Chains A and B, each alone.
Chain A
C-alpha cells in the first residue's frame, strides 16, 4: 500500500487567531436559529408512516367481513420469539363461511415477546396477518400487553382482497369442478 505524505500547510495568522472560524461558526448557528424546527411535537403531530412499515401485527377481515385467518398455525410455528398462541376452532355448519372449515377460537400475540420481524405476515398463506402502521404499544400490566383475538381484529380492520380464494373454491365446488 502506497503511503501518500500529506503536506500540512502551516496555519495562517487569521487561522491562528480563530476569529474567522468563530465568525463562520456563529453564522452557521444563526442560520439554524432562524430555521424552522425539524422535530415533530409527537403526540399531536404524527410521523408519516412509510409504505411497508412493520408495526404491530394485526388480524384482518376480507371486504366481505370474513375473518381471513384459518388457524393453520404456520405463524405460530414460524414466530421466532414464540409470541403467537393460536387455539384453532371449527366453523359451525350453518355459518355462511362453513366452507372455510376453520377459524381461530382464540388468537393471542404477546407484544412483550414480539420482535416485529414480520415472518408471520410473510408465512401466512391467507394474507390474514399484517404488520400495520401502529408503532407504539403500551400498557400497565403484562396481561394488557397480550393482544387477544378481539383486539387483533380491532387493530387490523378490513384490508382489500384480490383473490377471494375461498369464494372461488366454493363456486368451483358448486360447478362440480373441485380443482377449478
Chain B
C-alpha cells in the first residue's frame, strides 16, 4: 500500500516527513493560543471567545460547537496577522529586527526533529519510535538547539533600539542561562540510570545513549522497576525539570521577560502583525517540545499508564498486528499527554502571580541549582551503590 512512498528518494521522504510534522505542530501551536484564551476565560468565570463565525458557514448544522470553541476567532486572528501591514519602525536595526522572529521560529521547530512523538509495533512485534531523526545525542540536541532561541530574544531586544525591549532581552538572557543549568543537571540522573546498572541485559548494546526514545523504552519494560515512570523514581528531578521548563519557556510565574506591567511587552513591544505572532508561535512550540521532553523523560512517553506499556495496550485491544493503527495510538497517547502538560502550563499561568525578577534569579541560583546538584549527587551515589 505504501510502496510508492518508499520508492521515493530519501531526501523527498525526509522533506515530506518534516513538512508533515511542521504542518501538525504549527496549527497546534496556534491552537494553544486559543486554548490559552479559553482557559483564561474559564478560570475567570466567563465563556471566552465564542462569537466569530464566517457568515457563509453559519448555515451548517452543528458548526456552533466550533464557533463556541472559538476556532473561527483563531482563524480570524491568524488571517489578521498575515494580512496586517507589517510595520518596521524607523529607529530599529532593520536586518536584525526582521531576523529575530525568524531566528525564534527556527530552533522552536527544529527541536522536534530529535524528539520522538510516538511509536508503533512493527510486524516483528518490536516497538519502533516515530521520530524524524533517531540520533544518539537526543536530549543534548534538544538542549543545544532550544537554547539558541535566547538569541532571537536578545536580537529582538537589541535591534528594537528602545529601552523596554532592551531590558526585557537582558532579563531573558540572564534567566534562560541560569535555568538551563538546573535543567540539564536535573536530567543527568535519568541518563545515569538508563545507562547504568538498571539497563538490563536486553539493552546492553544500547548503553551510552542520550536518545529520548531509549528513555521511553526503559520505562516500557516489564516488571516493577522496568515499568515505573521516572517521575516516581526521581520526583525531585522531575520537579526541578518542570520548574526550569517554566522558566525556559518564559511562562508564568517566570515570565519576567515579557512582564507587561513593567516592561510593556518587552522584546515584542516594537513588533506587530506577523512578526509578533511568530514570537508567540515559537513560544508555544517551545512549550510543546518542552512538555514532550518532560513526558518522554518522566511521564512514560507513549505508554498509556505506568506499568502498562503501549505494546500491552495494543495486545489488549487486539491491534498489535497493524503498524499503522498502533502508530496512531502511540502518537495519540503521547499527544494527549503533551496537551495535558500544556493545559497544566496554562492552569498555572492563571493561578500564580509573576515572580519579581530578583526572586527569579534567587530561585534559580540559590535554590534550584544547589537542589539539582544535591539531587545529582544523591542519585550518582545511589546508582554507584546499586551497581556494586
Contacts and interface: CB of A to CB of B under 8 A. Distances in A.
Are chains A and B native binding partners rather than an unrelated pairing?
A: yes
Contacts of A38: 45-46
Which residue of A32, A33, A35, A36 has the most chain B CB atoms within 10 A of its CB atom? A33
B42 interface: yes
A87 interface: no
A32 B352 contact: no
B44 A32 contact: yes
A75 to B, nearest CB: 40
Interface band, chain A: 10 to 19
Given A22-B351, A22-B352, A29 B43 contact: yes
A101 to B, nearest CB: 54
Nearest to A33: B42
Contacts of B351: 22, 25-26, 28-29
Nearest to B45: A38
A93 B66 CA distance: 66
B153 interface: no
Nearest to A30: B347
Given A30-B347, A32-B42, A37 B352 contact: no
Contact of A39 (B39, B47, B348): B47
B350 interface: yes
Interface in B40-86: 41-47, 50
B73 to A, nearest CB: 15
A26 B347 contact: yes
B23 to A, nearest CB: 31
A38 B43 CA distance: 11
A41 interface: yes
Contacts, number: 36
Contacts of A28: 351
Contacts of B50: 41
Interface in B103-117: none
A133 B43 CA distance: 32
Nearest to A39: B46
Contact of A37 (B39, B45, B348): B45
Nearest to A18: B352
A22 B45 CA distance: 20
A36 to B, nearest CB: 8
Contacts of B352: 22, 25
A146 B50 CA distance: 35
Interface string B166-183: 000000000000000000
Contacts of A30: 347
Contacts of B350: 29
Which residue of B44, B46, B50, B351 has the most chain A CB atoms within 10 A of its CB atom? B351
Contact of B45 (A25, A26, A35, A41): A35
B43 A37 contact: no
A39 to B, nearest CB: 4
Contacts of A25: 351-352
Interface in B220-278: none
A33 B35 CA distance: 13
Nearest to B44: A32
A17 to B, nearest CB: 9
B227 to A, nearest CB: 27
A37 B347 CA distance: 17
Nearest to A27: B351
Nearest to B350: A29
B307 to A, nearest CB: 26
Contacts of A33: 39, 42-43, 347
A38 to B, nearest CB: 4
Nearest to A25: B351
A32 B45 contact: yes
Nearest to A28: B351
B146 to A, nearest CB: 25
Interface of B: 39, 41-47, 50, 347-348, 350-352
Interface of A: 22, 25-26, 28-30, 32-33, 35-39, 41
Given A26-B351, A37-B46, 7 more contacts: A26-B348, A29-B43, A32-B42, A33-B39, A37-B42, A39-B46, A39-B47
30 contacts: A22-B351, A22-B352, A25-B351, A25-B352, A26-B347, A26-B348, A26-B351, A28-B351, A29-B347, A29-B350, A30-B347, A32-B42, A32-B43, A32-B44, A32-B45, A33-B42, A33-B43, A35-B45, A36-B45, A37-B42, A37-B45, A37-B46, A37-B47, A38-B45, A38-B46, A39-B45, A39-B46, A39-B47, A41-B47, A41-B50
The 3 closest A-B pairs by CB, nearest first: A38-B45, A39-B46, A33-B42
